[in-house]
Structure 1
Amino acid sequence: MNERVERVDEQDRILAVVDREEAVRRGWLHRIATTICRDRQGRVLVHRRPEGTARFPGLHDVMFGGAVEVGESYEQAATRELAEELGIHVPVRPVCRFLCRGAISPYWLGVHEAVITGGVMPDPGEVAWHAWLTEPELREAVRQWSFVPDGQQAYGRYLAQRGPGPAALGGPGAGR
């Protein structure tokens, strides 16, 4: 079954319902919701994508998420994706939304934050490895590991919206 998404315009207004793969192939704007997970100590949950994944196989990321389904809000999608990918049910807080030109195709990206107080049970089809990293550890990881470029851009915006604090990811578009 094909994943259906809402094709949107430059102002994030709905134009039509389309197949997600067609939206990606044609460069049509659609919606993606992601979440940055922190624990009470402020560490960030980092993961590596499985090698068999269609998009960004084997790369690391600080974002958990996916396509916003038809009729769903960014927040609903972010909450659903956390349940699917990490096996957790926690509230998410919207941080920012922006038009991401994307490494594969353009899309509107809703970035959220969640504070995780318990354990996570990642879906191995979505998460090959995960760990909680402090911001200094994350900065070092970015120097040594390959990260999803869209995640770097979104994390930079997240840090800018969050307020003063050390910037953890410095890749292309970070902080812009």
Structure 2
Amino acid sequence: MDELVERVDDQDRLLGVAVGRRQAIREGWLHRVAVTVCRDERGRILVHRRSEQVSRFPGLHEVEVGGAVAVGETYEQAAARELTEELGIRVLPRLLFTFLNRSGLSPHWLGVHEAVVPDAVVPDPDEVAWHGWLTELELRSALLEWRFTPDSHEAFSRYSAFRTTRS
């Protein structure tokens, strides 16, 4: 079954139209996606490789965990739901910023969150084939060597810049 998402405009304002995510991607309609950069208590970042069974970007690595914002959800609610579905954890991620992301399958508004999560996550094997914790230096190297989703490069670049301006 196709996920229902809300169409939004180029200012991230709700247009009030619920559509299937596949149709939104196919038509290039703006919708919302929520992702979370997960850190452990030592500051390492969770990186994972997507399962070969997922429909979007199978087998590619990701820096963030997330998915589409469903009808009636906020970015934060969607991010928390996705963490539960994909990693089996319940935490409240903090929304850092949103931006109009034009990388990936279609343009969409991306809400980037951050959360400190336990080291011992239990990923859903239907979603996650492998996961590991990397330092920022290790992650920067991996981004050059491994195959990552388009969102990962853009989101991590903006996330790093955001953290730098807040330090």
In which range does the TM-score fall when normalised by the shorter chain? over 0.9
Unaligned runs of 5+ in 2: none
- AA of the residue aligned to 2:145: Q
Structure 1 residue 103: Cα displacement: 2.0
Q: The residue matched to 1:163 in structure 2 has which SS?
A: helix
* 2:74 corresponding residue in structure 1: 73
Deviations 1:90-116 (A, max 9, x none): 121111100001221000000000001
Q: The residue matched to 1:128 in structure 2 has which SS?
A: strand
Looking at structure 2, the residues matched to 60 and 155 of structure 1 have their Cα atoms a distance apart, in angstroms, of 13
Structure 1 residue 158: Cα displacement: 0.8
* 1:168 corresponding residue in structure 2: none
Q: The residue matched to 1:89 in structure 2 has which SS?
A: coil
Structure 1 residue 162: Cα displacement: 1.1
* 1:5 corresponding residue in structure 2: 5
* 2:137 corresponding residue in structure 1: 136
Looking at structure 2, the residues matched to 10 and 131 of structure 1 have their Cα atoms a distance apart, in angstroms, of 35
Runs of 4+ in 1 over 3 A off after TM superposition: none
* 1:14 corresponding residue in structure 2: 14
Percent of aligned pairs sharing the same letter: 61
- AA of the residue aligned to 1:92: P
Q: How many residues align?
A: 165
Q: The residue matched to 1:103 in structure 2 has which SS?
A: coil
Looking at structure 1, the residues matched to 119 and 152 of structure 2 have their Cα atoms a distance apart, in angstroms, of 24
Correspondences of 1:50-61 after superposition (within 5 Å): 50-61=51-62
Looking at structure 2, the residues matched to 94 and 19 of structure 1 have their Cα atoms a distance apart, in angstroms, of 25
Checking the alignment, whether the CA contact within 8 Å between 2:50 and 2:129 is kept in structure 1 is yes
Q: The residue matched to 2:128 in structure 1 has which SS?
A: coil
Structure 1 residue 89: Cα displacement: 0.3
TM-score by length of 1: 0.90
Checking the alignment, whether the CA contact within 8 Å between 1:79 and 1:91 is kept in structure 2 is yes
TM-score by length of 2: 0.94
Checking the alignment, whether the CA contact within 8 Å between 1:49 and 1:57 is kept in structure 2 is yes
Checking the alignment, whether the CA contact within 8 Å between 1:96 and 1:157 is kept in structure 2 is no
Checking the alignment, whether the CA contact within 8 Å between 2:143 and 2:153 is kept in structure 1 is no
* 1:36 corresponding residue in structure 2: 37
Checking the alignment, whether the CA contact within 8 Å between 1:44 and 1:133 is kept in structure 2 is yes
* 1:173 corresponding residue in structure 2: none
**Greater relative contact order, per chain length (Cα 8 Å cut-off, separation 6+):** 2
State the Cα RMSD in Å.
Answer: 1.3
Q: Structure 1's 47 and 118: CA in aligned 2 closer, same or farther, altered over 3 A? A: closer
Looking at structure 1, the residues matched to 102 and 161 of structure 2 have their Cα atoms a distance apart, in angstroms, of 19
Greater Cα shift, 48-57 or 17-26: 48-57
Structure 1 residue 12: Cα displacement: 0.9
